[in-house]
Amino acid sequence: MLVTGGAGFIGSHVVEALARAGHDPVVVDSLAPDLHPAGAPAVLDGYEVVRADVRDADAMSAAFRGVDAVVHQAARVGLGLNVADLPAYAADNDLGTAVVLASAAAHGVRRLVLASSMVVYGEGSYRCARHGTTAPGPRAASDLSAGRFEPTCPRCGQALEPGRVDEDARLDPRSVYAATKVAQEHLAAAWARDTGARVVALRYHNVYGPRMPRDTPYAGVASLFRSALERGEAPRVFEDGAQLRDFVHVTDVAAANLAALRALSTLPDGTVLPCNVASGEPRSIGDMARTLATAFGGPAPVVTGDYRLGDVRHVLASPARAAARLGFVATVPFTEGVTRFARAPLRG
């Protein structure tokens, strides 16, 4: 069992879950000094760890020897700060995925669990009282600057009601990172069609938990809030804090990977099955900041009104397909998970 990015935040939890289930995971990770200043985390002691970049075809070909499946977690994460990030994201995420897939094909590996993301959807699902289900376009900078954060119906301009997004929703990437995650899914689909392979693409929603990286603009909001609290600072919440997300604990995400791996054996050849990985318990970003600050015992969050053009307003997940097709249901309640995360170690 090959796990790319297995030394990372999510990947290391996946490795542990696979080992507990009786698998023999081999970790491939670049162990980039900016992400892993101390090298591989101690939790990987006793596992085979191959230091390699997924873009290195020779290294990946060697890593695939004796492997029967791959769990592809390796990726450059975050929205991307500006267009100057495009080459790095495309190289790490898309070229890296292409090399992984080509190496898998060369070694007869036909089972893939792909770490995708909810960012492929852009905005979530919305309904207009007058026009029904609708897909709002990107929010204008002028509206955001004026504090008009909610998307409106593109036909009548009225307020929209957010709903749960499922895997059949159109893909509408709105950031550098999102565009590369869509490309990863498309590359995996082409590989599956050409080779008869089977793919489960796990669209992670907002993952949080121990070993999140600290103090990086590319981390998720939970890590940014927690890092601020550790510095004795108030978490800074963008917009008005009412943005809705589905926060899912990293141990549940690891369990979803294990469930996806089991499900691959039941899928027809050439199948690509995208599945949301979510708790099914939507919360606002403001809720996350307040709950985390209370559990940590730090200063209350500050709602700044600031915004980023690559951000979307609401993404509420439907977990139904993962439950039906993978047998996966998240088990860590929001308040319990955030309370545990408040004192869990971050990755330096």
Q: Reading across the β-sheet that carries 161-165, which strands appear in turn?
A: 132-134, 125-128, 161-165, 316-317
CA distance linking residue 239 with residue 304, whole number of Å = 6
Pairing between β-strand 125-128 and β-strand 132-134 as defined by DSSP bridges: antiparallel
Residues 6+ apart with CB under 8 A from 319: 276, 277, 278, 279, 280, 328, 329, 330
Amino acid occupying residue 108: G
CA distance linking residue 26 with residue 289, whole number of Å = 36
Amino acid occupying residue 277: V
Token look-up 């890092």 returns: 227
CB atoms within 10 A of CB 232: 8
CA distance linking residue 103 with residue 40, whole number of Å = 24
CB 120 within 8 A of CB 182: yes
Task: Give catalytic residues, as residue numbers.
Answer: 177
Token look-up 């069992």 returns: 1
CB 53 within 8 A of CB 29: no
DSSP string, 85-146: GHHHHIIIIIIHHHHHHHHHHHTT--EEEEEEEGGGGSS-EEEETTTEEE---PPPHHHHHT
CA distance linking residue 35 with residue 18, whole number of Å = 23
